[in-house]
Structure 1
């Protein structure tokens, strides 16, 4: 089963709280098991260009069921997945996207965050995932 709207919104709220704690302006997207946008928030003043990045991070995670940072490591020049970011209409292969797991260990959705450094994006995404644990 995929993530419910209620759970997706819960993850977004937790991520928003973390972003506020860090004094950041973020875009936060959650997709369901089919990589469809389920919940989204754009904080006042967050970069417009990061809207698409947050959504693509979440979709990238769901397409490959791994954090975007892990995919990025495998897609470096000489790596086994070099240039994968050009597939599927464009992927994001740097940190800020994480899978959301269900009770049986299956991937039920994903969260993508964009608007700051990749370290901050990742920390805010982690807060969203932790809220559902």
Structure 2
């Protein structure tokens, strides 16, 4: 279960880590429905990365899978992201669902770096969010 205290603590630790690496990012944490619980766009992260991070968390929560996997499916099937009829869905890597005992309890979205690096930051954040 995501609590306010745990969510903010994990967010602060991730911000400190990224600041130390001089790699500013935008980070979004959502509940299991994709509704925003916490968000930050670090100093130096692009404005657009904030929108993308929120959409990554939203997509990962709603679709119950990594956004990169959804993007791969879109490319391999030849179906556009518009197939979902939800303009917020994205297939860029960096959105991951947060599972506890196999159940999606939330999601994270990270944006501003390469997709691979966004995924690494998201994975580290999920580790911090787990009880």
Q: Normalising to structure 1: TM-score of the pair?
A: 0.87
SS of the residue 2:27 aligns to: strand
Do the aligned partners of residues 6 and 57 (structure 1) sit closer, same or farther apart at CA in structure 2, a change above 3 Å counting? same
Q: Does 1:94 align with 2:92?
A: yes
**Contact kept? 2:56, 2:108, Cα under 8 Å:** yes
Q: RMSD value over aligned CA atoms?
A: 1.8
* Cα deviation, residue 10, structure 1: 3.0
Deviation digits for residues 18-74 of structure 1 (CA, Å, limit 9, x no counterpart): 423432110000001121100111111110011100000000001110011111110
Q: Does 1:110 align with 2:110?
A: no
Unaligned runs of 5+ in 1: none
Alignment of 1:1-133 (within 5 A): 3-76=2-75, 78-79=76-77, 82-85=79-82, 87-102=85-100, 104-133=101-130
1:31 and 1:91 map into 2 onto residues whose CA distance is 14
Equivalent residue pairs, number:
129
